[in-house]
Amino acid sequence: MKKKNDWIDLAPLDAVPRRGARCVKAPGGRIAVFRTEDDRIFATEDKCPHAGGPLSQGIVHGASVTCPLHNWVIDLESGAVAGPDEGRARTVPVRVEDGRILMAAAPLSSAAE
């Protein structure tokens, strides 16, 4: 069984399309995993800080995603909302190793507490 400080091996990098996203079902709610054009991987909770829209369904551009419900733009690195709007989506540490996407386990289970 995985421990809290483990990295969870999720899937190969190519399972997420470039300029796209997919979801991971997690105890505290869904996590969106994003892949940019230049193969960087980010993860945030799949909830826009504005009205809870599923960020994983948005258009990925640069290192940002635009929420599909009301076009808020979220910076993937920090989770912060861009521009005049305010708010922050919770981010989850992820990294790529040997072509596999690894996600930090700790924030996932703690989210459920």
Partner 1 sequence: MAEKLIVIGNGMAGCRAVEELLARAPGKYDVEIFGAEPQVNYNRIMLSPVLAGEKRFDEIIINGRDWYDDNAITLHAGVEITAIDLERRRVADAGGRLYPYDKLLIATGSKPLMIPIPGNTLEGVMPFRDIGDVEKMTAAAKTYRNAVVIGGGLLGLEAANGLRANGMEVAVIHLVDTLMERQLDEAAGFLLKRELEARGIKVLTGATTESILGEDRVSGVRLEDGRILDADLVVMAVGIRPNIALAGQAGLACNRGIMVDDHMRTSDPAVLSVGECVEHRGQTYGLVAPLWDMCKAAADSLAGLEGEGYGGSAISTKLKITGIDLFSAGNFAGNEHTEDIILRDAARGVYRRLVLHENRIAGIVMFGDVTDSAWFYQLLREGADVSSMREILIFGQSYAGGAQLDPMAAVAALPDSAEICGCNGVCKGTIVGAIQAKGLTTLEEVRAHTKASSSCGTCSGTVEQLMAHVLGEGFARNAVPPMCPCTDHGHDEVRRIIAAAKLKSIPQVMQELGWKTPGGCAKCRPALNFYLIAAWPGDYADDYQSRFINERVHANIQKDGTYSVVPRMWGGLTTPAELRAIADVAEKFSIPEVKMTGGQRIDLLGVKKEDLPAVWADLNAAGMVSGHAYAKGLRTVKTCVGTDWCRFGTQDSTGLGVKLEKLLWGSWTPHKVKLAVSGCPRNCAEATCKDFGVVCVDSGYELHFAGAAGMEVKKTEILCNVASEDEVLEYCAATVQLYREQGHYLERMYKWAARVGADAVRAAIAGDEAGRKALADRFLHSQKFAQVDPWAERASGGVDAHEFAPLGDVTYLEAAE
Q: Please state, in angstroms and rounded to a whole number, the distance separating the CA atoms of residues 13 and 11.
A: 6
Antiparallel, parallel or unpaired: β 73-75 and 7-12: unpaired
Q: What are phi and psi of 108, to 5 degrees?
A: -70, -50
Which of 79, 101 has the CB closer to partner 1?
A: 101
**Residue 97, amino acid:** E
- Residues near partner 1 (CB under 8 A): 1-2, 8, 10-11, 15-20, 22-27, 30, 33, 36-37, 51, 53-54, 57-62, 64, 66, 68-69, 71, 73, 103, 105, 108-109, 112-113
CB of 88 to partner 1, least distance (A): 19
Give residue for tokens 């995603």: 65
CB of 37 to partner 1, least distance (A): 5
